[in-house]
Amino acid sequence: MAALRGPGLRDAGRASINEASCHIRPVKPKMSDSNRFQRLTRAPADFREDCTPHLEVRDTPSDPLPPATLRDPDLERLVGESRQALKDLQRADGHWIFQFEADATIPAEYILLQHYLGDVDGEVERRIANYLRSIQAPNGGWPLFHDGELDLSATVKAYFALKQAGDDPAAPHMARAREAILARGGAAQVNVFTRIALALFGQVPWHAVPEMPVEIMLLPRWFPFHLAKVSYWSRTVIVPLLILMALKPRARNPRGTRIDELFLRNPESERYPMNATGDALGAFFAGLDKVLRAAGKRFPRGSRQRAIQKAVDFVTPRLNGEDGLGGIFPAMANAVMAFDALGYRRDHPDFVIARRAVDKLLYDRDADTTYCQPCLSPIWDTCLAAHALLEAGEDPDGAALQAATDWLLAREIDEVAGDWTWRRPGLAPGGWAFQYRNDYYPDVDDTAVVVMALDRASDPRTRPAIERATDWILGMQSSNGGWGAFDAENEYYYLNSIPFADHGALLDPPTVDVTARCLSMLAQLGYPREHAAVRRGLDFLRREQEEDGSWFGRWGVNYVYGTWSALGAFNACGEDLSAPHIRKAVAWLESRQRADGGWGEDCATYWPDRRSAAKASTPSQTAWALLGLMAAGEVNGDAVRHGITYLQRAPRDGAKWHELYYTGIGFPRVFYLAYHGYSAYFPLWALARYRNLKRSNERRVAYGM
């Protein structure tokens, strides 16, 4: 591998790059495979803010900024205080972990899981019910993100959970929720996962749910549907769910709770949506679902038992200890229910560890409130905190970063050949997960960011791990030049039209943000732009640029995140910063700066008619915009100065700036995330970078991120 590498970013001397010889002509965006994945989230090219009644742009209460002023002592003090406060949050063994919050769905499902099993911890239930009431919106419903609009599925689950917890249906908050649900067509209109939960409790018939026969487990790899053709999160959720859908167990439901009042008519006679996309392909798959439903009654009993056993054989080695199947709540909860349906005793080791993994996700927000997290984010939090501290001047040989390095090295995945080998057989493992452990599913994004942090810390002990991870990431590049988060070539877009996939996130195709991180890593390690993997990755980024100059953000909200990621990669790879596509991106970021000097982008921007929605500036999105602009050489620009001033003025508490709005995402328009660490390490990172560039009188950032 070393023969393919050139001098690293720090050693090459950025000023020595002949930028004129590297000039890249802008490429008009084409409808690539990744574009097709994103087609439902994008606005038309001629979209204007004043042409849609749904656009919502609100300024924060703060006054518009006066002409930017900056006193270096103030900046130094803020960087120093924030750096120390972030260090103070480090765990004794060297890692960082912050709260990881989603919407009402996961806490509600935890309550429902207890009632499915008939094993209810009254105190935990009471505390989660307090959380659910605390996040109910004034309209009576529950949104997918802070200050969002009512989501029907989340609202039905929250109502059901609260009724299970003993809330009186006549109570004002329950009445408001019920009225909101009925006004939107009733509980029959909820998404597929919610209908499956209701079917397990006997609230809807099983014909309300798309047909997913467990015999899927027996299909050959070449078949149009196979587990290898969907994302890791889909397969870990689907496989135990197939067991449940085959056995059709009934929840114990010890209190006999029903929610018939949420339906407009008898659930047996309701019409349930089966066309996931509303188009011709969706209609075809809806028709195929009817055929499968009729054929399912004729499947041989022996093949069904073989399929169930194959599903168990898939789940068992991937249980992942107390970190759980796939490291995500839906898969863990499905595994617990599947084991119960299969008749596992409560002291069976697999049942015990699966249940323990679910309980590990509980978080006590305060003395009287608990919620269940969708998963845990320690490796992501640790590598990003390390980057921020390194930028802020923390000694890489000091205790804090040495402990973080030790902790990260201990969690390298270098022995397990996970599901990614289905598309990359023979590729040696070498990477990191998102969670504490998730050895079957290392995360390409996490791996790239960990490698950049370890490389920047320059500890010779890390070189073997860096080499292994680099080889793995090179092997995970897809044929279109991009990288997905967990798999390669995961682009079977027709599968997003099957009735089961109404969430539209069955796949893990290459994305701008993950691709940008891989390119940034390769460039920081010294891979030249002429290297085949780098060249193809850069071509992918250029093709994916939006007409307005931004880039789509798949794993962070939204275009600010994607644009920061892309600009960081272009800078690291030595792109001509005066090239039209770079200037267009800079102009877009500058156009989105708000009156208070910050940047903010609403989670609703994933809907085509809400693409420019913004309610308030946020510290994390402001930091991304600043990092993107500085990567594009704009450290001396007015937009950067105003953004830095915004961060200086924004309220904070210790390491964390105040941030209510969600800036993370699981699945566009379906599942959003509040990374509580983002408002700690990203603002510090941006402030420290600004300070460092101004100190050195440099315009070009010397690191991949």
Q: Is 28 helix (H, G, I), strand (E, B) or coil?
A: coil
Work out whether the CA dihedral 568, 573, 574, 579 comes out positive or negative: negative
Instruction: Give the DSSP H/E element, type plus range, for residue 471.
Output: helix 463-475
Question: What is the crossing angle of helices 192-200 and 105-117, to 10°?
Answer: 20
Give me the helices (H) in 497-653, please: 512-524, 532-544, 559-572, 580-591, 619-631, 638-649
Q: Is 521 helix (H, G, I), strand (E, B) or coil?
A: helix
Calpha distance 198→127 (Å, rounded):
23
Instruction: Give yes or no for a contact between 48 and 560, defined as CB atoms under 8 angstroms apart.
Output: no
Q: Is 369 helix (H, G, I), strand (E, B) or coil?
A: strand
Instruction: Give yes or no for a contact between 312 and 344, defined as CB atoms under 8 angstroms apart.
Output: no
**Phi and psi at residue 6, to the nearest 5°:** -110, -165
Angle at 653 between CA 81 and CA 391, to 5 degrees: 40
Calpha distance 284→276 (Å, rounded):
11
Calpha distance 38→136 (Å, rounded):
30
Cβ burial, residue 690 (10 Å; 0-12/13-18/19+): buried
**Position 498, amino acid:** I
Q: Is 457 helix (H, G, I), strand (E, B) or coil?
A: helix
Instruction: Give yes or no for a contact between 454 and 524, defined as CB atoms under 8 angstroms apart.
Output: no
Active-site position among 340, 445, 487, 502: 445
- Both ends of the chain: CA-CA distance in Å? 22
CA-closest candidate to residue 496, choices 374, 667, 610, 292: 667
**What's the gap between Cα 341 and its chain centre?**
30
Calpha distance 324→236 (Å, rounded):
10
446 is catalytic: no
At a CB cut-off of 8 Å and minimum separation 6, what does 654 contact? Answer: 85, 88, 89
Angle at 166 between CA 253 and CA 256, to 5 degrees: 25
CA distance readout (Å), 272 to 194, 200, 207: 12, 16, 8
Work out whether the CA dihedral 16, 453, 694, 596 comes out positive or negative: positive
Q: Is 652 helix (H, G, I), strand (E, B) or coil?
A: strand
Calpha distance 326→698 (Å, rounded):
43
Calpha distance 631→26 (Å, rounded):
18
Q: How much of the chain is helix, strand and coil, in % rounded to 5?
A: 55, 5, 40
Q: Which two tokens stand for residue 329?
A: 């709540």
Catalytic residue positions, numbered: 445
